[in-house]
Structure 1
Amino acid sequence: MIEQSAFVLHSRPYRENQQLVDLLTEQDGKVTALVYVGQSKRSIKKGLIQPFLPLNVILKGQGSFKQISQVDTLGKSYPLIKHSLFSAFYINELLIRLLTEHITCQQLFFQYKTTLFALSQGEEIAPQLRLFELSLLEELGLSFDFSPVFEHDVSYFHYIAEQGFVPVYSNANTFSKNSALCFDKRHLQAIAQREALYQRASTDELLSEDKVTEEVSYTFKLLMRQVINQLLGNKPLNSRKLFANKAYS
């Protein structure tokens, strides 16, 4: 029996008075567990099996199928509304779709809590999602190697799975620099240095400070979407539909 902090990612009915729950736990990573919630509509356990509520759970059982024998709250649910709520559903779906079960990922668990807190405080959404996506990719062993964007004297790069950033030696007139498959070297360098998240970009002769920041953020979103879509097998995420015209993910 293991007692640990956890968050509910998703739950669904299983048998009478039972639910199957996908958890992100501090010690065991992603776990699917069975919980008996009882018959009453006011069941305490049923009320606690909710996303974005910090929990303390005790899991019992051997093998891949465990049971939640005890669950208590560790605090109030994170107050998420509108696009912050949609963003939280987005990161939950990423974890469900991409994480392997029963692999400890404490750093990702910490980043998950940090992201929920930032979203609940009204922080800018896009940078928080990019940070979480980076943490998830690192957990999956897919962190970026940005060294080519500093070593090659070209203006644009492609990102190719299992190869990384590949310089584009074509004439600038033969492709659109706004293509999702072609990334501006300056933007990639800013991303590598985390300037896109933490500080304003420097002005230059071509772009204003605001425009550089906006375009760097857009490049970052396109890069992460390309990589994540490949990991998902190009099967769309349901949570992206929630964003309507404000596609942060």
Structure 2
Amino acid sequence: MRVSAYVIHTRPFQDSKILVDLLSLEQGLVRGVWRLPKKEARVIPGPFLCLEVELTGRGELKTLKSMESLHRQRSLEGMSLYAALYAHEILTKLLPLNLPLSDIYYLYQWLIENLHSGVAIAPLLRRFEVGLFSELGSAINLSSTGRGEPLDPKQLYQFHEKFGLRPYFGEIPKLTPLLFVEGKVALDYHNGHWSDKQVLSLAKELHRAWLDSLLNGKPITARRLLPKQPFQGERLLGVPIFRAI
């Protein structure tokens, strides 16, 4: 089988062989064994390059027979590189093997193309995460309450991982929410107002907690490469609160 794919992770396997994780259009996340060329010409397949790959094998672990580039090689540097490595890590940890997910392939392709263009990185990553959550069936609903009621832009809500948004009237909740958010900010997030600093700040805090839940607490090591910038805003009952500015 031939597939269009990007290399998103490599690691040593056996003498003269490596394990390669590919994000493919036709088969989703594929793990295969690649035999390196002769020692004098050993080149490990690089990332961020669309390849045509020939796969063989019926099990989860495939054999990669050939890899040919479909486009000219382009490199990423600095924060753009770190952002791509972060995307690679969460893809390898979240995606099941050998399940076709074409929309995630195109989402990743969109991210890489925009990282090459030099646009602002934070909005790109947040939009990438939103798309990834949606395609995995774990979308975050900030468009209505957990009961399906429309949001009041001026009402303050508490957001719980299991129950979604609930109106907050000043009581001490039995379960501490992940965060508090005003209706307008929640709706701006839902509508993709990524140029709004409050929306970006909300998304960063919310997505971090959401990813930690999806990964059952497994660490994301690439986070160390990105700016930490801990939340410095207002808190309520010890958790972040996001109000319209």
Partner in structure 1 of residue 63 of structure 2:
67
1:3–1:57 Cα contact (<8 Å) kept: yes
1:78–1:116 Cα contact (<8 Å) kept: no
Q: 1:215 to 1:56 in 2, by over 3 A?
A: same
TM-score by length of 1: 0.82
Give the Cα separation in 2 of the matches to 1:121 and 1:245: 24
Give the Cα separation in 1 of the matches to 2:54 and 2:156: 51
Partner in structure 2 of residue 40 of structure 1:
39
Alignment equivalent of 2:192, drawn from 194, 202, 221:
194
What's the CA shift for 1:194?
1.3
Give the Cα separation in 1 of the matches to 2:97 and 2:75: 28
- The runs of 5 or more residues in structure 2 that have no matched partner are 231-245
Partner in structure 2 of residue 202 of structure 1:
none
Residue type matched to 1:242 in 2?
L
Q: 1:18 to 1:130 in 2, by over 3 A?
A: same
Give the Cα separation in 1 of the matches to 2:103 and 2:165: 26
Deviations along 1:56-84, whole A, 9 cap, x unmatched? 10100112111001110111234311111
2:56–2:65 Cα contact (<8 Å) kept: yes
Partner in structure 2 of residue 159 of structure 1:
159
Give the Cα separation in 2 of the matches to 1:245 and 1:147: 28
1:8–1:21 Cα contact (<8 Å) kept: yes
Partner of 1:147: helix, strand, or coil? Answer: coil
Residue type matched to 2:73 in 1?
S
Show structure 1 runs of 4+ deviating over 3 A.
244-247
What's the CA shift for 1:245?
4.3
Residue type matched to 2:48 in 1?
F
Alignment equivalent of 1:51, drawn from 47, 50, 56:
47
Partner of 1:183: helix, strand, or coil? Answer: strand
Q: % of aligned pairs identical? A: 27
Give the Cα separation in 2 of the matches to 1:77 and 1:231: 33
Give the Cα separation in 2 of the matches to 1:246 and 1:88: 19
2:143–2:186 Cα contact (<8 Å) kept: no
Is 1:228 aligned to 2:211, yes or no? yes
What's the CA shift for 1:246?
5.7
Partner in structure 2 of residue 93 of structure 1:
89
Partner in structure 1 of residue 5 of structure 2:
6
Aligned residue pairs total 223
- The runs of 5 or more residues in structure 1 that have no matched partner are 198-212
Partner of 2:158: helix, strand, or coil? Answer: strand
Residue type matched to 2:142 in 1?
F
Partner of 1:195: helix, strand, or coil? Answer: coil
TM-score by length of 2: 0.83
Give the Cα separation in 2 of the matches to 1:246 and 1:4: 39
Q: 1:160 to 1:41 in 2, by over 3 A?
A: farther
Deviations along 1:5-26, whole A, 9 cap, x unmatched? 1011111111111011111111
Partner in structure 1 of residue 168 of structure 2:
168
1:9–1:22 Cα contact (<8 Å) kept: yes
What's the CA shift for 1:152?
4.1
Give the Cα separation in 2 of the matches to 1:190 and 1:152: 11
Partner in structure 1 of residue 181 of structure 2:
183
Where in structure 2 are the equivalents of 1:214-225 lying within 5 Å? 214-225=197-208
Where in structure 2 are the equivalents of 1:6-155 lying within 5 Å? 6-43=5-42, 46-47=43-44, 49-148=45-144, 151-153=150-152, 155=155
Give the Cα separation in 1 of the matches to 2:98 and 2:159: 31
Give the Cα separation in 1 of the matches to 2:190 and 2:25: 28
